[in-house]
Structure 1
Amino acid sequence: MAASLITYTTVVFPLHGGDVRAPSAVFDQIFEVFLLLGTAVGVVVVAYTMYHALKYRDDGGGTDPYADKVERPEMGEMPTGGAGGRKVFYSFSISAVIVVSLIAWTYSQLLYIEQGPDPAQAEALEIDVEGYRFGWDFVYPNGHTTNTLRVPQDRVVRLQVTSTDVFHNFGIPALRVKTDAVPGQYTSAWFTANETGTYAAKCYELCGSGHSLMTTDVVVMPQDEYEEWYAETNGTAASGNEMDQRIATEATALGGAPA
């Protein structure tokens, strides 16, 4: 009974990605961590170098102010002191801990991108993406096919990407989504868009003379507007304008459009 209620609730009220970290947010966070950490290390190194450069500089007096404090090695002698190598050990250990921790954290973030969000989002919107020279077809669960990708805001969207001819690569730069389109195979990608608007999807695999024309719009709509649009599709194919656009794209590409 409980399982049936959960299934019914999922269908009527689709799971959304409002509380799911989007790939774009994950990559932005990785960038910010590397930027902040790199800046901090740079500041410490420069400050340490400048401090010692000023402290032990030659003041032009002709005498060594640290003669009675530091034992200077003679020519050909190995320097002594250094606290028995403890400074080198501490600096190396701290650096190793920082680097290993950073690698482990980055790997966990990329693993999240690779595997997708929590299994609780298994009922996310699934759309098949078919690449062809030189455009994209998007097939929705009800069979509706279009060359403009429309998705709801704050909803996990899973893409199953393939190609009908040659190798392509489907990517939405603003949403940090990118995956290969391989003939006869399916690759998967996912994303969730937190802001409405129109984004650009492009092909990132040189696929012929019309490669530069292989772009399309990704329209992120409010949930209610998306549901209204989706209810009107009724499993139909692309509209007349979209079919005309596809024919025009293919004709232009075959006519020798620059790559």
Structure 2
Amino acid sequence: MKEMAGIMVTLTAVVFPLHGGDVRAPSAVFNQIFEVFLLLGTAVGVVVVAYTMYHALKYRDDGSEEDPYADKVERPEMGEMPTGGTGGRKVFYSFSISAIIVVSLIAWTYSQLLYIEQGPDPAQEEALEIDVEGYRFGWDFIYPNGHTTNTLRVPQDRVVRLRVTSTDVFHNFGIPELRVKTDAVPGQHTSAWFTANETGTYTAKCYELCGSGHSLMTTEVIVMPQDEYENWYAETEGPTETETAANETGGGDHQIAPATVGGAPA
């Protein structure tokens, strides 16, 4: 029965793949990590400050010469070892609890970052794969049908996988609002993924100092509803589209190669 259940789950994932709307976006993961650290840090700060202020007020010098705790504690004399106490139990408990919290936090954070590094399970997603080529000072986005453009268009709630490289020097492709960032290395391919849960226009930037036009190496990332994206993508089968208006980066000398089908120009 267990084997049959496993087979049914696998077949369901293959026949009905999950889209980006069912996948945690990198931006959501990083926001969650930030919120956990913020809440935990605030809680620790409140406890420590409250504990310190309580004892500072409780044991403050009120100006009287009498010791209010003279009949409650046995104070050691000069050169005498103190006796009594809790045998270090407070220190042990404090250290143990702190160690458990810190180790648990490190393990949880590592698992979240590992998810960002590896991405969602390929068997449970239908990813859109796009090649990204950086050059001084712009970006080319090459879609599965060979269509090349300077503006990245992606559908909403869809996992997008990027294969990033460079045609000249080192660059770094990043979309800060979507929490995606990876190196663009000449002769090599790096990978990154993201999913956008809201439509809109975002900005992709280069985060590697690559020359005099580095600060201008930006382009638009347009997240479209699924039906609008499908209509746009259906119209791209043909000549290569050049969107210079959306990517005025000073890379006017860069020529986009025509799309090819079967080794011949489309």
TM-score of the superposition, structure 2-length normalised? Answer: 0.86
Kindly tell me the number of residue pairs found equivalent between the two proteins. 246
Q: Deviations over 1:139-193 (max 9, x none)?
A: 0000000010000000000000000000000000000000000000000000000
The more displaced of 186-195 and 243-252 is: 243-252
Q: 1:248 to 1:27 in 2, by over 3 A?
A: closer
Is 1:193 matched up with 2:176?
A: no
Q: 1:108 to 1:244 in 2, by over 3 A?
A: closer
Structure 2 contact 151–246 (Cα < 8 Å) conserved: no
Q: Deviations over 1:91-116 (max 9, x none)?
A: 00000000000000000000000000
2:251 matched residue in structure 1? 250
Is 1:237 matched up with 2:240?
A: yes
> Which residue type is aligned with residue 26 of structure 1?
V
SS at match of 1:84: coil
Is 1:45 matched up with 2:48?
A: yes
Output the CA distance in 2 between the equivalents of 1:5 and 1:141.
26
Structure 2 contact 19–125 (Cα < 8 Å) conserved: no
Output the CA distance in 1 between the equivalents of 2:36 and 2:218.
32
Output the CA distance in 2 between the equivalents of 1:126 and 1:27.
23
1:68 matched residue in structure 2? 71
Q: 2:87 aligns with which of 79, 84, 97?
A: 84
> Which residue type is aligned with residue 221 of structure 2?
V
Q: Superposition pairs for residues 37-186 of structure 1, below 5 Å?
A: 37-121=40-124, 123-186=126-189
Output the CA distance in 1 between the equivalents of 2:74 and 2:249.
83
Output the CA distance in 2 between the equivalents of 1:143 and 1:85.
70
The more displaced of 163-172 and 73-82 is: 73-82
Output the CA distance in 1 between the equivalents of 2:73 and 2:236.
84
Structure 2 spans left out of the alignment, 5+ residues: 1-7, 255-266
From the two aligned structures, give the one with the greater helix fraction: 1
> Which residue type is aligned with residue 17 of structure 1?
G
Structure 2 contact 217–249 (Cα < 8 Å) conserved: no
Question: Shift in Å at residue 238 of structure 1?
Answer: 2.0
Percent identity between the two aligned chains: 84
Structure 1 contact 152–222 (Cα < 8 Å) conserved: yes
SS at match of 1:63: coil
Output the CA distance in 2 between the equivalents of 1:167 and 1:78.
66
Structure 1 contact 121–156 (Cα < 8 Å) conserved: no
> Which residue type is aligned with residue 214 of structure 2?
H
> Which residue type is aligned with residue 90 of structure 1?
Y
RMSD value, Cα: 2.4
TM-score of the superposition, structure 1-length normalised? Answer: 0.88
Q: 1:108 to 1:247 in 2, by over 3 A?
A: closer
2:262 matched residue in structure 1? none
> Which residue type is aligned with residue 219 of structure 1?
I
